[in-house]
Amino acid sequence: MRNRVIARVVAILLALIMLFSVFWVVLDAVTASAARVTQAEINRLKEEKKEYERKKREIQSRINTIEFEKMTEMAKKSVLDDRIMLTSMEIDNISETIAFYVTLISEKELEVQAAQVKEGTQLKLYKTRVRDMEENGVISYLEIIFDSTDFADLLARLDFVTDIMRADENTYNEYIIARQETEDAKEVLKQTKSEMEDEKVFLEQKHEELEEQLEEAYALIKKIETDLASERAMRAEVEAEEARVQREINQKVEELKRQQELDRIAARNAASSGGGRVRGTGQLGWPVPSSHSVTSGFGVRMHPVYRVYRMHNGIDIGASHGASVVAADSGTVITSAYNSSYGNYIVISHGNGFTTLYAHLSSRKVGDGATVSKGQVIGLVGSTGVSTGPHLHFEVSVSGSRANPQKYT
């Protein structure tokens, strides 16, 4: 009876060891798979970063040439804007990389915890066997052998004792492996945290670099504005560009109307609703949620140096560089582009003759033809184009004519 009890205890112990081994193998596979996905994303972002750095070196080479010095001031500003946009992309890239590192660190911390639990479990099993051996030792094995009834039973019992001893050895080896896995997981976690800190330092450097580049771009426009001939030439170019953009807006609005009418007919024929048309609510929201500071209103304004009056076709909303810009209403993006006057700009058609324009963006988040909902982020505040500081230039057009945005927001 006593022998059967011992045999059952040993069998249960062996089963538990096997069960824990399978469990930890599965857990290791799952956590390793999750980590590989995150690491792959980080590697992808690092490749993108290298490409941004390469493009910036090309732009810097252009800036360092005599050809750059011969460019018009507006053309120079365009090149500087390209460099600023790439730096902004690098900042976005690094920020995203850091976010992935945060996720990866969480995964690694879980792996360390799992490894520690596994090590503790294996240590407990090993201590249990050591304690059992201290209490019974060789006597238990001899009792099992000497209680054999015949030679065949003796051989079976010898095999059984060998299995127990092999299980004891495996328990010890599993504990050693588990302890090493804990140390390895801690080391990987430490390395991952170190890499994230390096990215944070790099991010801070990029922010400083961006500030220097913005100051250089601002200084160029300010220099133009303090020279009467240059300012007049720039103003003529800006006004011509604004008129061209407005003509393009009106043309695209008409094209969109025709397309929407075709969609409406197709939807009616197909007995469906909507037909892909996107219309606004009729009430414009504020395009910069983080700021309601209007630094320049709609209408005629005076040049601060030459006391010359000129028309301002929108309003300027002061905000920090990189602040979110949202769609004032639902609609369809009819233009998402860059030009020397507006810099990065987006135009949205809201239906019923309403369009809104968002200019001087540091980056655009939507492209031509995209449908957007009211309040959706479409870009980030910047200072591209003719601009001496970060702000959003916001325009509203009604039936092809510009109107005061503050009447509709």
Q: Give yes or no: residues 209 and 271 share one domain.
A: no
Q: Which residues contact 309 (CB under 8 A, 6 or more apart)?
A: 300, 301, 302, 303
Q: Indicate if the pLDDT at residue 139 is higher than 50.
A: no
Q: Where among 223, 254, 273 does a domain terminate?
A: 223
Identify the CATH number of the domain in which residue 107 sits.
1.20.1050
Q: Indicate if the pLDDT at residue 47 is higher than 60.
A: yes
Identify the CATH number of the domain in which residue 374 sits.
2.70.70.10
Q: Please state the pTM of the whole predicted model.
A: 0.64
Say what the pLDDT of residue 69 is: 81
Say what the pLDDT of residue 262 is: 66
Average pLDDT of 224-235?
70
Q: Give yes or no: residues 186 and 271 share one domain.
A: no
Query: Can you give the residue range of the structural domain that contains 347?
Result: 228-407
- Which residues sit opposite 326 in a β-bridge? 377
Report whether 173 contacts 89 (CB < 8 A).
Answer: no
Q: Give yes or no: residues 206 and 253 share one domain.
A: no
Q: Give yes or no: residues 292 and 319 share one domain.
A: yes
Q: Give yes or no: residues 267 and 217 share one domain.
A: no
Tokens of 124: 């407990």
Say what the pLDDT of residue 329 is: 94
Tens of pLDDT, residue by residue over 114-132, are 888 888 887 787 677 666 6
Q: Indicate if the pLDDT at residue 8 is higher than 70.
A: no
Report whether 89 contacts 59 (CB < 8 A).
Answer: no
Average pLDDT of 394-407?
92
Handedness of CA 261, 264, 268, 269 (dihedral sign): positive
Q: Give yes or no: residues 191 and 239 share one domain.
A: no
Q: Indicate if the pLDDT at residue 104 is higher than 80.
A: yes
Say what the pLDDT of residue 148 is: 62
Q: Give yes or no: residues 163 and 251 share one domain.
A: no
Q: Give yes or no: residues 246 and 270 share one domain.
A: yes
* Look-up of token digits 């799952």: 30
Q: Where among 170, 198, 223 does a domain terminate?
A: 223
Average pLDDT of 285-304?
86
Average pLDDT over the chain reads: 79
Q: Indicate if the pLDDT at residue 282 is higher than 60.
A: yes
Tens of pLDDT, residue by residue over 341-389, are 899 999 999 988 899 999 999 999 999 989 999 999 999 999 998 888 8
Say what the pLDDT of residue 278 is: 65
Q: 65-74, 173-182, 226-235, 322-331: which range is least confident on average?
A: 226-235
Q: Give yes or no: residues 211 and 246 share one domain.
A: no
Q: Give yes or no: residues 196 and 95 share one domain.
A: yes
Tens of pLDDT, residue by residue over 146-198, are 566 665 655 665 565 566 667 666 777 787 888 888 888 899 889 989 999 99
Q: What's the number of domains the chain is made of? A: 2
Q: Where among 159, 190, 223 does a domain terminate?
A: 223
The backbone region for 301, taken as left when phi is positive above 0, alpha when psi lies in -120 to 50, beta otherwise, is beta
Q: Give yes or no: residues 39 and 169 share one domain.
A: yes
349 vs 257: CA distance, rounded Å: 10
Average pLDDT of 262-280?
57
Tokens of 16: 């538990």
Q: Give yes or no: residues 353 and 296 share one domain.
A: yes
Q: 2-16, 136-150, 252-266: which range is least confident on average?
A: 2-16
